[in-house]
A and B are shown apart, each in its own frame.
Chain A
């Protein structure tokens, strides 16, 4: 048993594992925060995956053509917002089924990215390979060199904190920012209210539709960052279906975090950590246990979420008005 624990700890408290966990959790975190804004305003969004994919494609294509990572980022965010507005139109104005609309966006993005990619670049749906200038490279934070020789802190600062790309920092800064917006601003108060009791917000003379539209725009921006991270920061180009289910893991993280920003960060870090550990454990025997199938770690995020939903780890209560279109008056 002791062997087992020490083996696990050796893997977990290893700077390269922690570093990998940060990289792997970044797209999940951005997508989970994206879902947070939408769902707290009462719009369920299972189209996170599709928006990320479309953004990844747009970013890869724009960066490939222009050679600028920033233009790629802009394209990714714009496309993602456009899709978010389509979802918004379907669920807010047209009062359609939010789940159906989300699924439609996922399919739309999966098909259209390959179709356009093939038509424009003739590489089987891939976008051109990006050079260094067209990607977000690793940024060394100030002082990383100076602190290099300080034991422990220097190592942690150098490897874990410094040396990521700019979108990683954006993702982790978005957590306190989202908290501040949701809990300390008038907009956030109203946004949360509209997800719980839209009628009350409406009675106060505030437009439910306009608030929800603004919420889905926030979702679009964050999904755009998540997709851009995948194609032009973590990789060097877009590949078909490259989101590979991350939008759904992000949703699981959001539920796991009970629709709160800071817990969402910890949930995403946990899921990223599981992934990083799974990579390092693959094919390695753990003392006392033997070889753990990788599938076990890959399924863990979902297993944990199901256990949570079954009520074993507290209770996850979704926003009360989530999934229900707001009808002002009966006609």
Chain B
């Protein structure tokens, strides 16, 4: 019995490997295809947002969409090749970890059209969608600085990489725009990808910040951030979610969520090919283009006062119109507010 179970498990694992290669050429040529990142389309975060874009496209156009969820990065190239080889268009890859695979597949299939979300791949047949995380973080900083009673707010990042630093810098800048006296405590969970999957560590970091007086803490740490929001909720203070709408995780304990609109990027890339206006190159989506936004719903309606909402809306407008320039650590160098 145990042998049979084990065989079944092995078979299931193998099928995940060979599935894209096994699909015949029967698919409708010209339909879009998407390769989700590790975590899968129901991860409650990044990939799920991409899936929302797929769903919207399907509903509006009635077209089919080929989907594939990778279990590890190594599967990405195989899936992309298979889709490109069967003339799906565009072939969209989600997540920075697929950049290498997209680059290689784009070189192997020069006639295919690719898109990648959250990373730049410089190739003549790839459209790259990236986000101005710092702009969303600025809004979070404004709201946190207005919500704090202790005058201390916290930031828990995942792996210590430039895009997380960029988020932190925007957050600091937003807080400083409200009051120069607000203190920001920042912690990074680690230096390896494991820093994005360790909720126990996230909770511990949040607790240490709470001990130091923080009463609003933002997480930019993926799975680690789930622990941050949990610790904030347990301690009766406020958390701020990121990537997708996390207000509902702890109703009344999540001040807002800073969303990265991966769904809009995916939808746009699909529509571009469908309408024959696909163009390679880089698209940078910020507050102005609906690439980032902050969420106000039933779960946090009581936390955001009209005064705070007005300030956040004003900041969104000012950034969109270019009156406020949010510092970008990746492009403009180290954060001026350390």
Contact = CB atoms under 8 A, between A and B. Distances in A.
B186 A283 contact: yes
A93 interface: no
Contacts of A16: 208, 211
Contact of B44 (A20, A27, A114, A124): A124
B226 interface: yes
Contacts of B200: 27, 230, 234-235, 242, 244
The bracket for how many chain B residues form the interface is 20 to 34
A129 interface: yes
A240 interface: yes
Given A124-B44, A241-B194, A244-B194, A114 B71 contact: yes
Interface in B185-242: 186-188, 190-191, 194, 197-201, 203-205, 207-208, 211, 223, 226-227, 230
A276 B207 CA distance: 11
Contact of A295 (B12, B191, B226, B249): B191
Contacts of A241: 194, 197
A279 interface: yes
Contacts of A298: 190-191
B13 A111 contact: yes
A235 B226 contact: yes
Interface in B148-204: 186-188, 190-191, 194, 197-201, 203-204
Contacts of B188: 282, 294
Contact of A24 (B190, B191, B204, B223): B204
Interface stretch (B35-43, B125-133, B275-283, B326-334): B35-43
Contacts of B71: 111, 114-115
B107 interface: no
A280 B212 CA distance: 9
A235 B40 contact: no
B198 A124 contact: no
Contacts, number: 96
Contacts of B207: 20
A126 B191 contact: no
Interface in B1-53: 9, 12-13, 39-40, 42-45, 47-48
B204 A124 contact: no
A115 B13 contact: yes
Interface residues of A, number: 36
A235 B40 CA distance: 22
Interface string A1-45: 000000000000000100010011001000000000000000000
A11 B188 CA distance: 19
Nearest to A108: B9
Interface string A236-265: 110111101100000000000000000000
A234 B197 contact: no
B230 A235 contact: yes
A185 interface: no
A123 interface: yes
A295 B189 CA distance: 11
A200 interface: no
A30 to B, nearest CB: 13
B44 A242 contact: no
Given A16-B208, A23-B204, A24-B204, A237 B226 contact: yes
Contacts of A236: 199, 226, 230
Contact of A282 (B45, B48, B187, B198): B187
B208 A279 contact: yes
Contacts of A282: 186-188
A239 B45 contact: no
B69 to A, nearest CB: 8
B94 to A, nearest CB: 12
Contact of A242 (B43, B191, B199, B249): B199
A43 B226 CA distance: 37
A122 interface: yes
Contacts of B223: 126, 239-240, 242
Contacts of A123: 42-44
B187 A279 contact: yes
Most buried by B among A16, A115, A242: A242
B226 A124 contact: no
Contacts of A112: 9
Given A235-B226, A242-B198, A124 B205 contact: no
22 contacts: A111-B13, A122-B42, A123-B43, A124-B48, A125-B40, A126-B43, A126-B44, A129-B226, A129-B230, A129-B249, A235-B199, A235-B200, A235-B203, A237-B226, A242-B197, A244-B194, A244-B200, A244-B201, A245-B194, A275-B204, A279-B208, A282-B188
Given A20-B204, A126-B43, A239-B199, 9 more contacts: A16-B208, A16-B211, A111-B13, A114-B71, A235-B226, A239-B223, A276-B204, A279-B208, A283-B187
Q: Closest 10 CB pairs between A and B?
A: A124-B43, A124-B39, A122-B42, A16-B211, A235-B199, A244-B198, A239-B223, A234-B200, A244-B194, A241-B197
Interface of B: 9, 12-13, 39-40, 42-45, 47-48, 71, 186-188, 190-191, 194, 197-201, 203-205, 207-208, 211, 223, 226-227, 230, 249
Interface of A: 16, 20, 23-24, 27, 111-112, 114-115, 118, 122-126, 129, 230, 234-237, 239-242, 244-245, 275-276, 279-280, 282-283, 294-295, 298
